[in-house]
Amino acid sequence: MDIKQFLDSTYLKTPEQAGLSYEENKKVVQGFILEAIEENFKLIMIRPDMVALAKRMITEAKSKVLVGTVIGFHEGNASIEEKLSEAKKAIEDGVDELDFVCNYELFKSGHINTVKEEILRCTQIGLSNHKTVKWIIEVAALSDHQIIQLSTLIKNVVIANFKEDCYTSVFVKSSTGFYQTENSKPNGATIPSIIMMLENCAPLPVKAAGGVRSYQEAMAMINLGVKRIGTSSAKAISEGLTTEDNY
């Protein structure tokens, strides 16, 4: 098994979050893209404004690395139309995979029909353009019961509206890695949260993101049944090392 084909190498900091200028941050992004090409990771996950750059670099290198981006990041509270517009631009720029942040706060407040519409319409724009879609549910913001409910809701919307051969192209993903928790609680994937997702969104696949910091942790997730892992430390993990990075 090649663990690199499970790894989505990820860099999602804005210049402000990184304490860098736009050009300095762009160089960091380019470094992640080059590393993904050199290491042959499954995918490079970057902000929407860097998709065209990543696609160009990967095409020039004749690499098979996929390009992914995040939509509605990181709070997930953008409107459906805003998310669709952002996704459309990323598709035009050559993106391969779209990771939408589900509007989990609307879900928590009981606006289930709006969340269903968001899942349906955003999944549709992805699948109709032959893109993989992932739904970030932000497990750290949810109770165990809500993780189960939202994973089930996404599954039910997909099964009700799309053909079976599409199921493997719609993931449920644990986290953005940017959610602020209290008392140093995990803000990303945990074994219990991933088990709940796997049990309740099947046959849709699961992506574990945030908090996977070592080869051993990555393998534990893979052995549970996770199909992809989002991490800013893909190289270290692939080399069997442990990192202190927070994503």
Average pLDDT estimate for 84-90: 98
Mean pLDDT of 106-134: 98
Asked if 235 is an active-site residue, the reply is no
In the chain, what percentage of residues exceed pLDDT 90? 93
For 86-134, the DSSP string reads HHHHHHHTT-SEEEEE--HHHHHTT-HHHHHHHHHHHHHHHHHTT-EEE
CATH architecture for residues 3-238 = Alpha-Beta Barrel (3.20)
Digit-coded pLDDT (tens) for 133-142: 999 999 999 9
Q: Which amino acid is at 163?
A: K
DSSP character string of 174-199: ---S----STT---S--HHHHHHHHH
The question of whether 207 is a catalytic residue gets the answer yes
pLDDT in tens, 184-196: 788 899 999 999 9
pLDDT at position 2:
92
Residue 156 and residue 194 in contact, taking contact as beta carbons nearer than 8 Å? no
CB of 180 closer than 8 Å to CB of 74: no
pLDDT in the model for residue 246: 65
Measure Cα distances from 23 to 16, 31, 50, 54, 61 in Å: 12, 12, 12, 15, 22
Which of 8, 42, 99, 131 does the annotation list as catalytic? 99
Q: Is 1 a residue whose pLDDT tops 80?
A: yes
Nearest one of 124, 197, 201, 115 to 166, comparing CA atoms:
124
Q: Is 99 a catalytic residue?
A: yes
Q: Of 83, 134, 155, 173, which is the active-site residue?
A: 173
What is the reported pLDDT for 183?
76
Nearest partner of 171 among 119, 210, 218, judged by Cα = 119
Is the predicted pLDDT of residue 146 greater than 90, yes or no? yes
Domain ranges of the chain: 3-238
